[in-house]
């Protein structure tokens, strides 16, 4: 068994040495495919990160009746916190709400309190859900709490946001699958050229009684090596480019960019594995036709 493994590895390395140009072409093809695939994965992860940030900002604003006592206001908070799926409940006083409007719209141009004469805003509770998709259901339950005058959570906007985010995730996944299939086709085509140059050797091995798997293993090892080398080149370029992108975009406010190092390392490691798998798949697809002797 060990002798066979040494033989397979030696044959794979010798084949790469004899077919340097085709090996280089295969490595370049894998690198380009993995680079494009990696860019698509990072773009998808950033889109998902941005969508998650948008969803996490969803909140329910409940406004209280104006004639409530302090005890009743506290009781309402307890009832809101008891609703399944509620994460946090924060009291927003009418003074805080007016100050928010002043800071957002009035600024230094005019004083809202002086303009309106008195504060017309009610007290309220700002409610956040554990799962943003539960916001509509929670809002319906909040409306049933005694003492709540009205509830606002942007019903139409939330509905449209969930539809848009679902389609973005579906289309992103479909795009990555299509890129992967295209990568397999390109790699298989390139590897087929390398195998074609050794077709007589394959025929001879089959004629003397070698099994299909005995013939396949050196090519599989070669495919793994070429796929891994190509993916490492792609990941190096991808990592440098993405780090440069992060450095330039961080100066732009309100643009959340995925910068989780642990997750990025998992992506890069996954791309190495994908490169090796693509190398094996491309070899398997290309080799089968030459094994029929």
Predicted pLDDT of residue 255: 62
- Name the residue ranges covered by the structural domains of the chain: 2-54+161-290, 59-152
Please list, in sequence order, all residues whose beta carbon lies within 8 angstroms of the beta carbon of residue 275, skipping any fewer than 6 positions away: 30, 34, 227, 228, 230, 231, 232, 234
Least confident of 108-112, 161-165, 194-198: 108-112
- Tally of CA atoms within 13 A in the half-sphere of 127 that contains its CB: 33
Judge whether residue 215 has pLDDT over 80. Answer: no
Both structure tokens of 154: 């942007």
Predicted pLDDT of residue 250: 65
pTM of the model: 0.70
Beta strand residue intervals within the chain, DSSP E: 60-64, 86-92, 124-129, 148-152
Q: Which residue has the higher pLDDT, 207 or 93?
A: 93
For 16-46, how does the pLDDT look when each residue is reduced to its tens digit (9 = 90+)? Answer: 777 788 788 888 888 888 888 888 888 888 8
Chain mean pLDDT for the chain: 80
b/e code 210-247 from CB counts within 10 Å (16+ = b): eeeeebbbbbbbbbbbbbbbbbbbbbebbeeebeeeee
Per-position DSSP letters for 176-202, written without gaps between them: HHHHHHHHHHHHHHHHHHHHHTTHHHH
Token look-up 């805003």 returns 121
For 243-259, how does the pLDDT look when each residue is reduced to its tens digit (9 = 90+)? Answer: 888 877 766 655 677 77
Rounded mean pLDDT of 80-105? 81
Judge whether residue 56 has pLDDT over 90. Answer: no
Predicted pLDDT of residue 19: 74
Angstrom CA distances, 231 to 22, 239, 245, 259, stand at: 17, 12, 20, 21
Q: Structurally, what CATH architecture does the domain formed by 59-152 represent?
A: 2-Layer Sandwich (3.30)
Predicted pLDDT of residue 10: 81
């Amino acid at each position: 068994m060990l002798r066979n493994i040494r033989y397979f590895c030696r044959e794979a390395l010798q084949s790469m040495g004899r077919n340097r140009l085709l090996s280089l072409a295969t490595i370049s093809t894998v690198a380009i495919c993995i680079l494009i695939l990696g860019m698509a994965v990072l773009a998808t992860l950033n889109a998902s990160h941005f969508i998650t940030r948008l969803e996490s900002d969803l909140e329910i604003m409940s406004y209280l009746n104006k004639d409530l006592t302090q005890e009743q206001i506290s009781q309402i908070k307890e009832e809101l916190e008891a609703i399944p799926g509620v994460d946090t409940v924060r009291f927003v006083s009418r003074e805080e709400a007016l100050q928010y409007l002043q800071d957002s719209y009035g600024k230094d141009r005019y004083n809202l309190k002086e303009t309106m004469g008195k504060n017309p805003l009610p007290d309220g509770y700002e409610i956040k859900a554990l799962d943003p998709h539960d916001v509509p259901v929670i809002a319906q339950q909040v409306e049933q709490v005694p003492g709540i005058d009205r509830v606002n959570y942007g019903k139409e906007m939330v509905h449209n946001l969930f539809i848009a985010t679902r389609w973005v995730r579906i289309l992103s996944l479909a795009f990555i699958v299509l890129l992967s299939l295209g990568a397999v086709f390109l790699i298989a085509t390139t590897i087929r050229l390398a195998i074609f140059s050794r077709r007589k050797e394959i025929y001879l091995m089959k004629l003397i009684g070698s099994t299909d798997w005995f013939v396949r293993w050196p090519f599989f090892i070669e495919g793994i090596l070429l796929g891994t080398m190509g993916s490492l080149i792609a990941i190096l370029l991808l990592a440098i480019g993405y780090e440069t992108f992060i450095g330039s975009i961080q100066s732009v406010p309100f643009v959340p960019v995925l910068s989780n190092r642990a997750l990025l390392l998992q992506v890069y490691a996954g791309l190495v594995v994908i490169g090796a798998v693509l190398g094996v798949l491309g070899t398997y697809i290309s080799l089968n036709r030459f094994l029929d002797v």
